[in-house]
Amino acid sequence: MDKILEEMLLKVADLHGIPEGAYNIRANGELAGRSTTANIDIVTRKDKSGIDVYIKPGTKKESVHIPVIMSKSGLTELVCNDFYIGDDSDVTIVAGCGIHNSGSMESRHDGLHRFFVGKNAKLTYIEKHYGDGDGTGGRVMNPKTEITIEEGGSMEMETVQIKGIDSTKRETVAHLKENAKLIVQERLMTHGKQSAESRFDVSMDGENASANIISRSVARDSSHQIFFSNLQGNSPCAGHTECDAIIMDDAKISSLPEITANHPDAALIHEAAIGKIAGEQIIKLMTLGLTEEEAETQIVNGFLK
C-alpha cells in the first residue's frame, strides 16, 4: 500500500496500519487485506462485487473494520456488502471510504450496505467519508444503507462526511420490529460547489420501536444540501427527527422532515432549523480573546463534533 492509500486509511478509519480483529481492506477496487476471527467471518460475494460479514450470535466487544480507499482517477465501482449481526451480540463496525483523485476523470464509489441486526443484538456502526487530491476529476460517493432490526435489537449509526466529496447522495432505509431501536447521528460539511443529498426512511413496525435521527450540517461557499427524513409510525412507537444546519456564504440548504402516524399511539416529533452563526456567539468568543475567524471555526467544529 502506498503513502496516499495509507493516509486515506487514517482519515476514514483512524487506522495507523493493519487493525486488530476482523477487517477487510479494499483498495482501488481490489482486496488489499482481510482477517477473520473465531466469531466473525468475511466472505467475498460471488454474485456481485462486495463482501458478506457474518457475526456469530453472542459475540461481544469485537469490531470489524471495512475501509474502502481509492486513488486511481476514473475508477467507478459499485460495492454491495451484507452484514449479519447474530442474536445477542454486541459489536462495532467501522466502515469508511476515502477517495484521492489527482486526475481529471470522475472517481466514484457507490455502496449498498445491508444490515440484518438480530434479536437483542447491539450494533454500533461508524461510517466516515473523505476525499482529497488536487485533480479536476469529481469525487462522488453514493452510499445506500438498508437496515432491518429484529425484536429488541438496537443500532447506533454515526456517519461523518466533512470534506472533499463533490457529490453525494445518501439513502438510508430502516425497518424496526418490536422494541427495536435506531439512533442515527449524521454530520455533514460541504464547501466549494459540492452538493449533498441525504434521505432517511424509517418504518417503526413493531410495538415500542424507537428511532432518533439527528443530522447536523454546515454548508459553506456555494455548496448545496438537501435533507429528507420520513419517519413512519406503524405501531405504538416513538420517533424523533432533527435537522439542524448552519448556512454560510452563498450556500443553499433545504430540509424536508416528514412524519407519518399510522397508529394512534405513535408519538412522532420532527424539528428542523437552518440559520447562520449567531452574531452573539462570535462576540462571546471574541471576548475570550479569539479572532472572528477563530470564533467561527470553533463554533463550526463544536457543532459538528
Binding interface with other proteins (CB under 8 A): 216, 244, 278, 280-281, 283-292, 298-299, 302-305
Nearer residue to other proteins within complex by CB, 173 or 290: 290
| CB-nearer residue toward other proteins: 10 or 290 | 290
Radius of gyration for the alpha carbons in the chain, expressed in angstroms and rounded: 20
* Cβ 248 to other proteins shortest distance, Å: 15
Least Å from the CB of residue 86 to other proteins: 34
Q: Which is nearer to other proteins, 134 or 293 (CB)?
A: 293
Beta carbon of residue 126, minimum distance to other proteins (angstroms, whole number): 18
Cα separation, 106 vs 139, whole angstroms: 6
Taking each helix axis from N to C end, the angle separating 292-304 and 279-287, rounded to the nearest 10 degrees, works out to: 110
Query: Between 61 and 305, whose beta carbon lies closer to other proteins?
Result: 305
Instruction: Report how far residue 199's alpha carbon sits from residue 172's, in angstroms, rounded to the nearest whole number.
Output: 6
Q: How far apart are CA 269 and CA 233, in angstroms?
A: 11
Question: Which one-letter amino acid corresponds to residue 262?
Answer: N
Which positions ≥6 away from 122 have C-beta within 8 Å? Answer: 89, 90, 91, 153, 154, 155
Nearer to other proteins (CB atom), residue 45 or residue 284? 284
Q: How far is the CB of 246 from other proteins (least distance, A)?
A: 9
**Least gap, CB of 216 to other proteins (angstroms):** 7
b/e sequence 172-193, b meaning 16+ C-beta within 10 Å: bbbbbbbbbbbbbebbbbbbee
Question: Residue 204: what residue type?
Answer: M
User: What is the smallest separation between the CB atom of 218 and other proteins, expressed in angstroms?
Assistant: 11
Give the separation between CA 248 and CA 281, rounded to whole angstroms: 15
Beta 40-44 vs 51-55: how paired, if at all?
antiparallel
Between 3 and 287, name the residue whose CB sits nearer to other proteins: 287
